């Protein structure tokens, strides 16, 4: 009988322990440890990606203007991770839109010669920006993103 009680006591102790969320990068605990919350979070990221893709294909913007702010605001993703996620997401967005712009009726709207130089400059700029990102504190980084988005927004309103 004592063995039965000991076994029941151990089982109850096991049940009382709450699961510890797996740490994220930087040692921060996961925000949504339950499977349902993870699914909801994935749906939010999918919605952000949809908006980024939609606006990327429609207006030619999506990464810095949509994906980064929405990740920070809607999911609480740290600014640095939102920047990195956005850069990774831009590649498939561009690949998906390319055939539509290139194989449109009439003449293609893509100038590969110009695009090549844009790619060269973008790769060098992205590398330099990622290296510089390490030296900018989080608060200043958020302010910089807000200022750039604000200035470009006013420019579009005043000088379309």
Does the residue 129 lie in any domain? yes
pLDDT, averaged in runs of 10, over the chain (160 residues): 57 54 50 56 92 84 83 91 89 85 82 93 93 90 89 88
In a domain, 126, yes or no: yes
In this structure, is residue 16 part of a structural domain?
Answer: no
Q: Are 50 and 62 in contact (CB under 8 A)?
A: no
Residue 104 lies in a domain: yes
Specify the 3-state DSSP secondary structure of 104: coil
pLDDT at 147: 93
Instruction: Please give the pLDDT value at position 135.
Output: 92
- DSSP per residue over 13-49, as a string? HHHHSPPPPPB-GGGPBPS--SHHHHHHHHHHHHHHH
Q: Which residue has the tokens 């102790």?
A: 13
What local confidence, expressed as pLDDT, does residue 7 receive?
59
What's the residue count for the chain?
160
pLDDT at 36: 47
Phi-psi region at 27: left, alpha or beta (left = phi > 0; alpha = psi -120 to 50): left
Residue 23 placed within a domain: no
Report the C-alpha gap between 136 and 86 in whole angstroms. 18
Residue 15 lies in a domain: no
For residue 125, the enclosing domain spans: 35-158
User: How many structural domains does the chain have?
Assistant: 1
For residue 49, tell me if it sits in a domain.
yes
pLDDT score for 131: 92
**Residue 25 belongs to a domain:** no
């Amino acid at each position: 009988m004592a063995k039965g009680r000991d076994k029941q006591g151990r089982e109850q102790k096991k049940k009382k322990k709450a699961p510890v969320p797996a740490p994220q990068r930087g040692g921060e605990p996961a925000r949504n440890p339950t499977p349902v919350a993870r699914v909801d979070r994935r749906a939010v990221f999918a919605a952000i990606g949809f908006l980024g893709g939609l606006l990327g294909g429609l207006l030619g913007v999506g990464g810095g203007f949509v994906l980064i702010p929405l990740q920070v605001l809607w999911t609480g993703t740290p600014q640095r991770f939102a920047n990195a996620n956005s850069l990774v997401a831009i590649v498939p967005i561009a690949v998906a839109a390319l055939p539509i712009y290139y194989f449109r009726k009439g003449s293609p709207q893509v100038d590969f010669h110009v695009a090549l130089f844009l790619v060269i400059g973008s790769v060098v700029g992205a590398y330099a920006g990622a290296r510089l990102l390490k030296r900018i504190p989080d608060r200043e980084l958020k302010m910089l993103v807000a200022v750039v988005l604000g200035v470009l927004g006013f420019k579009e309103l005043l000088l379309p």
